[in-house]
Structure 1
C-alpha cells in the first residue's frame, strides 16, 4: 500500500499558528473588535520558533496567534454582541444620513447592546487567589485613569468609576492594615500590600497636570480599563464580604465634590444597623474570616471613637514613641563567610499601631492624598489638614493643641529661613536672620514627608530630628532592593564595606591631585617670569656641559643592573617591606619597654600621614598578592571546563567590585567636600 504524501503547510508548526488576517476573516468581525475581544479573553500574539516554516519561506512581518486560541473564540457569546452593535451602528448612520437625529438618538438609547464581562472574569480567574495575583496591572491602570483629566478620549464617567473603585480598595487596605511598603520614585508612588498571602504592588502617579500626546491609543487603554473595572469590582466585593462589610459602601456625593475623597465613603458591617439605613440580611453570604465580627464591631464604633476621642497625655506619647523606636532582634553575622539568616519582621499588630498614638497635621504644601492613606493604613485615626485642601479632616486649625506631629515641606533660603515666611528685604539688602519655622507650637514634632515613608519601610519610628524642616534628608532607598555581598550598600559606612588599604590609596590620590593642581597653577602664573629669565641669561650661564660619554656609560650600567635584577624585583621589594615591618615592630616594643621602665607615658610615634598610608597600602597589597597566588595554585588543580567557569565568575565579581569601589570613591569625595564646606 502506497503511503500518501502530506501537503506542505498543513501539519506541524504551520498548522499550529494562524495569521491575524485569517483569524479576523474566520471570526467575521472587524479588526478593532478582534483586538477588543483578544484583550477581554487574554489572548496575545505568539512568535513561532521557526518562522519560515509557518510562513512557507516568506520573510514579511506578520502577526501570529495560536490556532487553538482562535478556535476557542468561535464560541464566545461576545461575538453576537459585536455583530448586533455593528447592525445598530448601520441603522444609526442611515438615520443620520437622512437627517433624522431623533430616530438616531432613540436607536442609540434603546438598541445598543450592553456588554457584560462577568462570565469572562469567572473563566479567566477560577479561584480568588488567581484574581489577586493579576491585580497589579489592574490597580496601576485604574489609579492612572483616576488622575487623568476628562477629554474626548477619556470620558468623565470612566474617571469617576476608576476613582470610586480605587477609594474602595484603599478603604479595605486601611481597615485590614494590609499595606506593608511604599516608595517614592520618579514615575510615582509604589505601594505594596499583602492580601490573603499575596503581595500586590501598584503604582500611583503624582497629581500633576497630565498632558497626553497624540501617539497614545486610548481605545486600547480604554478596553483594558473596561475589563479592569469589572475585575476590581468583583475583587472589592469579595474582600468586603470576607471581613463582614457591606458592599458597596455608602458614598456621600456632596462630600466628594468638596474634596473629601476617602472621607466620602462610610463603611458598615453586615450585622450592624447604622442610622436605620442598613438592614441585616439572613440570606447574605456569611463572613469567611472568623474575626469578621470583631472587625465589624470596630467599624461600627469608629465614628463614635473619632468624635469622642480625648487628647493623649504627653507622657503617654513619649512612652509610646520610645516603645516604637526599639528595634526588633537582629541576627548578626558571626563570620565574613557565614550564612546570612533572614531578619525577623515586625508583626501585623505592631504595623497596625505604628502611628496610632499620634495626631497629624498636613501642611498645605504636602501631598495630602498619599499621606492620608499611609497614615490611616498604619493606625492613625486623627489626620488633619487645612480646610482649603478638602473636606473630611480631623482638625482644620493648625494651632490645635491636640496635634502631636506636623508634616511640612517648605523650601528654605540659603541661611535657613523659610521662603514663604520671610519678610521683605531690608534697605541694605541683607537676608533675614530667622530660622524656620518662625513660630512653632511647643510639644509638637515637625518632620518632612519622607519621615513617614522611611518609618513604614523600616517598621519603626525613626529619629525626627534627621527629618526636621530644612535638614538634609537621608537617602530614600527602595525597600525591595537589598544589597548583596560585595555590592555597594549606601546604608553602611565606608569603613564597614571598603577593602584594606582603600582609604589610604584614596588619601594618596587626593594628595597627588592637590600637588598637580598646585604645580599647574605655578606653571600658569610663572610662564612670563620664565620667559624673562631665559631672555636675560648671560653667556655660559645655565648651560649644560656635554657629557655624552659619561651618559652612555651610566645608561649601559643601568641597563645591565636592570637586566640582572629584573626577576628579583618583586622578591626584593617584599623582603624590604618585611624587614621594615619587623624593624618597626621591634622598635615599637623597645619604646614600650623603655616607657615602662622609666614610668613615663608612651610618646606617640612620630610619623607623617603619608608614610602611614604607604605602610597600610603595602600591607594590603602584600595580602592581596598572597591571596592571588593561593588562588592561582588552586586553579591549577581544576579541569579546563571548571577553570573557564571560574574565569567567568571572577569576571562578574571583578566588575561588581569595580562598580562598588567607584561608588565608594564618589561617596568619599562628597564627604570630603561636605567637611570642607562645614
Structure 2
C-alpha cells in the first residue's frame, strides 16, 4: 500500500500562497509588502483551480507564487522596513511623553535611507533590458513632472522628475535620437531610437491639473521612486556613451525663471582633438562657452566653425542627397495586392539637419517647451521666443531680421498689416526685446502654425508652409505609426488610387442623376414646350412631342433626332451644348475617367450608361455565383469561419466606401 499524502503539501496548494500568508511569513505590514512587490517586480498570479490552491476555501483571495515569496525572504529592504517600523514606534513614544525635540531629532537623523541600486541591477542585467522598459518609466515621470505640488505629491518629487526628464531630453537633442511625434487627445507621443531600441512615451499637455482623491498616490509614488532610480542609471550610461559628463551642470536660478532646457549646461571631454585630455568642452543650448585655457578655447572655436561650415555645406547640397549612392533605398511592392513594405527610417545625419538652416521665433500663445524640444532635436540652434515664456532664448526681439520662421497660433494676419520701413512696433520691454503690435507682420518671414513642425518631422522633409499659414484649415494630422492595410481608407493617398473598378464612374452617374432636376441643359424638352406656347416654334411639330420624348432613351433615335433638328432648334442651343460638354469633360477628368467615356453631345448618353451598369451587375453576379459554388465545397466549420471573415471584410469595405464618397463630395464642393 502506498504512502498516503497529506492534504495541501503538493500540487497547486504548495505552488501558490495567499497574500495574508505571505505578509505573515515576511513579518511586514501590508503597505510595505506592496512596496516590496513593486520594487522586485512580483505580481499576483491566477491559479487554474482556486479551490485547490486555497485549500478548499471558497473565499476570493489574491495568490502569489510560493517561490517568489521565498525569494523575498533574503531581500535587504526587509531590514530597512523593520528599522522604519521601530523608528515610528520611538517617535510615537516621544510624542506621548511630550518630548517634541527628541521626536524631531529622531525623524531627521534616524530615518534609514533606502536605496534601490541593487534592485535595478537585479532586474536589468543588461543595458538593453533597461532601455526596453523605459516606456512606462518615461510616461509616469513626465506625468509627475507636470503635476502641481500637493500634500500627496511633494515638490521635491516633482523637481526630481523634471530634472531627470530634462536630462533625458538633452541626450535626445545631442544624439539626434528622436524620430517621430504625434499630437493626440491624451497628450504628445514621442518615439526615439536608442541603441537600436524604439522607445515611445506620452507627455501630457500643460493644462491646469487638479489632483483627484480617487487615485492612490502612495502606490504611484512607489513606482516613481523605482522609475526615477532607473532613469538616473540610464541617463548616466547614455551620457557617458557619447562622451558627456553626468550629471550636467544645473542652474537653479535660471530654472526658476523658466529656462527649463536652458538651465542645463552639458560638458563633454574632447581629449581626442586636444593635447590636454582633461579639458572640457562646454555646450549650452547649441552655443559654446569659454573655458579656463585660452589655447583650448581657440581650438574649440576652430572645431565649432568647421562643424558649422560642414553643416551649411550639407544644407546647400540637400537636394542632391537623394541621388547619392548612400541614400536610403525605397522598397516597392511588385503587385498592387501585395503587403506594404516597411520603409527604412531617416539616418541621424538627415534628421539632424532638418531645421538647421532656420531661425525660429515662438509666439507667446504657442506651446514653447515641446516646440523647442522638437526643433533642437532636429538641428535648429537658434530659437527665440517672447520674454513672458521664460529666459534662455536665442533672441527676444520679434523684429529681428535673422528670424526666418515664426510659430503662431492666431487668426489669419492680412498682408496689408505688414511692418513697413518705419518699423512700427509695440512698447519695448528692454533693449533686447521688441514686440509687434497685434495684427502686424514682418515682411519676408514665414508664418506657420505649430502643426507644421510635427508634420515635417513625421514626413522626414520640409512641407509647404502655405498649407499651415495662420488661420488656414490645417491638413489632417495622422498618427505616423498607423499603416493603412489593404482595403482600408488611407487619407494620405489620393482618391484615384483607392477607388475600385467602376466606382468613380458610378459616383459620376449618381451625381448626374441628382443634378438633372437642377441642370437647365437637361430639360430641353420642357423648354421646347414653353417655346410652343409662346408661339416661337412651329405648332405642327407639337403633335409628335410625346413620341419623341418616349424615343429619347434609345441611343440611335436620340442621335437621329439631333440630326433632324440640327438646322432648327438645335442650332439655337449650339453654344449651350458646348458649355455642357465642357462641363462633362471636367467632371470626367475629376473622376479619373478618360474623355472618350463621355458622350460627344452635350447630353449624357443613357444607352452607354445603362450598358456599363449592366456589365458591372453581370460581373458582380458571376462573382457571387462562383463564391457560392466554392462555399458548397467547404466543410461546415470552415464555411462559418469564412462567412465571419466575409462579414468583417464587407463591413470594412462599406466604411471605406463611405469615407471615399464623403471625400469625393468635399473635393467637388471645393
State TM-score, norm by structure 2: 0.75
Q: Distance in 1 between matches of 2:151 and 2:90?
A: 24
User: How many Å separate the matches in 1 of 2:624 and 2:348?
Assistant: 49
Rounded Cα–Cα distance in structure 2 between residues aligned with 1:653 and 1:478: 23
Aligned to 1:28: 27
Structure 1 position 95, deviation (Å): 1.2
Inter-partner Cα distance in structure 2 for 1:135 and 1:653:
37
Asked if 1:460 is matched to 2:461, the reply is: yes
Q: Cα distance, 1:344 vs. partner?
A: 3.8
Q: Select between 447-456 and 90-99 the one with higher mean Cα deviation.
A: 90-99
2:658 maps to which of 662, 665, 672? 662
**Cα separation, partners in 2 of 1:484 and 1:107, compared to 1, 3 Å:** same
In structure 1, the residue matched to 2:480 is: 479
- Measured at CA, do residues 318 and 219 of structure 1 come closer, stay the same or move farther in structure 2, by a change above 3 Å? closer
Cα separation, 2, equivalents of 1:454 and 1:647: 41
Sort the Cα spacing of 1:278 and 1:370 in 2 relative to 1 into closer, same or farther, 3 A: farther
Most deviating of 264-273 and 460-469? 264-273
Hey, what's the Cα distance between the residues in 2 that align with 1:63 and 1:304? 63
Give the Cα–Cα distance (whole angstroms) in 1 for the partners of residues 151 and 208 of structure 2: 17
Contact 1:251 1:266 (8 Å CA) reproduced: yes
1:525-674 counterparts in 2 under 5 A? Answer: 604-608=600-604, 615-671=611-667, 674=669
Q: 1:231 to 1:159 in 2, by over 3 A?
A: same
Residue in 2 aligned with 1:390?
390
Alpha carbons of 1:272 and 1:389: their partners in 2 closer, same or farther (altered >3 Å)?
A: farther
**Cross-structure match for 2:249:** 250
Partner residue of 1:445?
Answer: 446
CA distance in 2, matches of 1:123, 1:174: 30
Deviations 1:545-583 (A, max 9, x none): xxxxxxxxxxxxxxxxxxxxxxxxxxxxxxxxxxx99x8
State the 1:186 CA deviation.
0.6
5 Å-filtered alignment, 1:493-512, equals: 493-503=494-504, 506=507
1:504–1:616: 8 Å Cα contact kept in structure 2? no
Q: Report deviation, 1:470.
A: 1.0
Q: What is the Cα deviation at residue 320 of structure 1?
A: 6.6
Secondary structure, counterpart of 2:406 in structure 1: strand
Deviation at 1:620, TM superposition (A): 2.8
Q: CA deviation at 1:372?
A: 0.5
Length, aligned pairs only: 558
Other-structure match for 1:567: none
In the TM superposition, residue 490 of structure 1 has moved relative to its aligned partner by 1.2
Please list, as runs of the form range in 1=range in 2, the aligned pairs for 1:108-147 lying within 5 A after superposition: 108-147=107-146
Aligned residues: CA RMSD: 3.8
Secondary structure of the 2:269 match is coil
Structure 1 324/90 Cα, relative in aligned 2: closer, same or farther at 3 Å? farther
SS in 1 for 2:441: coil
Q: Distance in 2 between matches of 1:606 and 1:391?
A: 68
Asked if the contact 2:152–2:217 (Cα under 8 Å) also holds between the matched residues in 1, the reply is yes
CA gap 1:408/1:617 in 2 versus in 1, 3 angstroms: farther
Cα distance between partner residues in 1 of 2:126 and 2:517: 70
Change (3 A) 1:318 1:82: closer
Q: What SS does structure 2 have at the residue aligned with 1:76?
A: coil
Deviation of 1:322 (Å): 5.8
SS at match of 2:219: helix
Q: 1:508–1:610: 8 Å Cα contact kept in structure 2?
A: no
By how many angstroms is 1:279 displaced? 4.8
In structure 1, what is the Cα distance between the partners aligned to 2:43 and 2:228? 20
Over 3 Å counting, the alpha-carbon distance change for 1:627 and 1:302 in structure 2 is: farther
Which residue does the alignment assign to 2:355? Answer: 355
Q: What is the TM-score when the length of structure 1 is the normalising length?
A: 0.75
SS in 1 for 2:167: helix
Secondary structure, counterpart of 1:269 in structure 2: strand
Q: Which runs of 5+ in 1 are unaligned?
A: 282-296, 419-435, 518-579, 592-600
CA offsets, 1:69-110, max 9 Å, x none? 111101100000000000000111111222221111100011
CA distance in 1, matches of 2:393, 2:217: 36
Q: Secondary structure at the match of 1:267?
A: strand
Deviation (angstroms), 1:670:
4.3
8 Å CA contact retained: 1:504, 1:613: no
Residues 249-285 of structure 1 deviation map (CA, whole Å, 9 limit, x = unaligned): 1111121111111111111113469xxx99569xxxx
The CA distance in 1 between the partners of 2:354 and 2:488, in whole Å, is: 32
Alpha-carbon distance between aligned partners in 2 of 1:618 and 1:464, rounded to the nearest angstrom: 48
Aligned to 1:123, what secondary structure does the other structure show? helix
Shift of 1:339: 4.9
Q: Secondary structure at the match of 1:266?
A: strand
CA contact (8 A) 1:324 1:461 kept: no
User: Does the Cα contact within 8 Å between 1:14 and 1:53 map onto a contact in 2?
Assistant: yes
Q: Is 1:94–2:90 an aligned residue pair?
A: no
Is the contact made by 1:504 and 1:614 (CA closer than 8 Å) also made in structure 2?
A: no
**Post-superposition offset of 1:500:** 3.2
What secondary structure sits across from 1:406 in the alignment?
strand
CA distance in 1, matches of 2:477, 2:377: 20
Report the Cα offset of residue 660 of structure 1: 1.6
Match of 2:76 in 1: 77
User: Structure 1 residues 39 and 339, CA, compared in 2 at 3 Å: closer, same or farther?
Assistant: closer
Q: Deviations over 1:489-532 (max 9, x none)?
A: 11123332122344455566678889999xxxxxxxxxxxxxxx
Alpha-carbon distance in structure 2 between the residues aligned to 1:193 and 1:303: 31
Q: 1:130-156: per-residue Cα shift (whole Å, max 9, x none)? A: 000001100011111111111101111
Distance 1:98 1:412, change over 3 A: farther
Contact 2:339 2:486 in 1 (8 A): no
What is the CA-CA distance between 1:608 and the residue it aligns to?
Answer: 2.9
Contact 2:259 2:391 in 1 (8 A): yes
